[in-house]
Structure 1
Amino acid sequence: MVYQERVAWSQLIVSVITIAVYAALVLRSAGGGELTSVDWLPLMLWTIGGGIVLTVVLSVLWGIVAGMRDPQSATTTDIRDRDISRLGGRVEHSFLVIAGLVVIALCGAGAHLFWIANTMFLGFAISALIGGIARVIAYRRGLV
């Protein structure tokens, strides 16, 4: 497995964990009450920060293990990696645009700030998840 594929897997794994952790924290904080009463900002910021740190740690640890097995190819990349990265980026951007449009619609409709912020968070999370899936599929099946 090449360096960029390991990073894609790390991001994919952490995206799933981040979405689940944030949802659990918000639901637990709501305690069966209204979701809009939850103090969501600290939860969101800590979850995002934790996701970033976890992605870096997982990528580094996985890289160390891969480097012990095959030091020559542990960090090499080629044109295929660049093309797969671009594909994943295009997929991610399309989902971010959709999330942005939904956020604009929510703002126009006068939605509660909770729903606006969480829609954007979910848009970022889903774009990372779908982009990671696209990258992993491209590594496994090749670019078409």
Structure 2
Amino acid sequence: MAYAERNTWAQLIASLAGTIVYVVLVAPELWRVPIDEVEWVWPMVWTVAGAIVLSIVLSIGWGILAGMRDPEETHTADQRDREIEWFGDRIGVAFLVIGALSALVLAMLDVDTFWIGNAIFFGFFLSAFIGGIARLSAYRGGFPRW
């Protein structure tokens, strides 16, 4: 497995884990308190920070294990890796834009900041997750022929 592909897997796992933790922490409050009293800021900050740390730890750990298994493996990106990275970013950014536009519309409608913040959060999540899935599909099956 290529170095960039391992990092993509680590980022996918971390982003999914962070989002699940955030939803588990915040969703129960939606039924207990009014929306403007839901504590969502710090759970979001900590789950984003935790997902970043988890991604780094997974990448380093996986890299160490791969290096022990095959010490001759190179850790440089070639042209194919760069094209796959560009491909995943291009797909992922579409979902980031959707999240930002959703937040903009919600702000125009003057809804609670909970919904605006979560629209941006889930836009970031979808960008990372779907962009990562696109990268992995390119690594495993090649680029789609559009």
Q: Same fold by TM (over 0.5)?
A: yes
Query: TM-score of the superposition, structure 1-length normalised?
Result: 0.94
Q: Which residue of 2 aligns with 1:15?
A: 15
How many residues are matched? 144
CA drift of 1:77 comes to 2.0
Q: Which residue of 2 aligns with 1:128?
A: 128
Among the aligned pairs, what percent are the same residue?
47
Provide, for residues 22-76 of structure 1, a one-character-per-residue CA deviation record: whole Å limited to 9, x for no partner: 0001024446333442121111100000000000000000000000111222513
Query: TM-score of the superposition, structure 2-length normalised?
Result: 0.93
Secondary structure at 1:110 match in 2 = coil
Provide, for residues 116-143 of structure 1, a one-character-per-residue CA deviation record: whole Å limited to 9, x for no partner: 0011001101111101100111100012
Secondary structure at 1:23 match in 2 = helix
Secondary structure at 2:73 match in 1 = coil
Secondary structure at 2:111 match in 1 = coil
Provide, for residues 83-113 of structure 1, a one-character-per-residue CA deviation record: whole Å limited to 9, x for no partner: 0000011011111111111111000001100
Secondary structure at 2:33 match in 1 = coil
Structure 1 residue runs of 5 or longer lacking an equivalent are: none
Structure 2 residue runs of 5 or longer lacking an equivalent are: none
Report the CA distance shift for 1:31/1:111 in structure 2 as closer, same or farther (over 3 A): closer
Q: Which amino acid aligns with 1:58?
A: L
**C-alpha distance in 1 between matches for 2:25 and 2:36:** 14
